[in-house]
Chains A and B, each alone.
Chain A
């Protein structure tokens, strides 16, 4: 069974530029999560999708971050414009529909904003 895929693995941009990350969850997983992990800290949930609907986006800085999950499969997280404090690892995870506690993580994207 293929795991959660993410791309790119690394991205370096200048502040005020925009960037997008892509995630492909495990086949059949209805729930998809985006977490932000700042260096030296634990991951923090940004947004959670159930199929193509948003379940929780209370921690998403909506003035600059946006996310979508078209057709309930792949998802894209965008930052526009980026700030220095957005430098972090962005982790995508997915889980089966009725077992939200069973989350599988992708390898993450390391973003550096200069």
Chain B
């Protein structure tokens, strides 16, 4: 079974600084997707960034970027120029399609990292 591990229960950063959240996963599959989701106190799960395992290039979305190390099964999120609105719980998640193709599969989530942003 696939597992996702986030070893940092809490992280903090000063506004405008950079912070990196860590994630490792365990899988025997070669084709899968990795995600970072943000969950503010409102509980709405918001997609931050997605990485396809077959792509060697690290995904980037504005101030958010990832460091995807497939061999090491590591997937970290870097937040640059941190803003107060970035404060939330962040979840790393893994998706592998079942035999039926990408229609079928489930997201497996890590335990989450609470990010605090100090003004």
Contact = CB atoms under 8 A, between A and B. Distances in A.
Contacts of B97: 100-101
A92 B105 CA distance: 15
Q: Is the interface of B mostly helix, strand, loop or mixed?
A: strand
Contact of A107 (B42, B91, B103, B112): B42
Nearest to B114: A40
A55 interface: yes
Interface of B: 4, 33, 35, 42-47, 50, 91, 93, 95, 97, 101-107, 109-112
Given A30-B103, A33-B106, 11 more contacts: A42-B4, A48-B106, A56-B104, A56-B106, A93-B45, A97-B103, A100-B97, A104-B47, A105-B45, A105-B46, A107-B42
Interface of A: 30-31, 33, 35, 40-45, 48, 50, 55-56, 89, 91, 93, 97-101, 103-108, 110
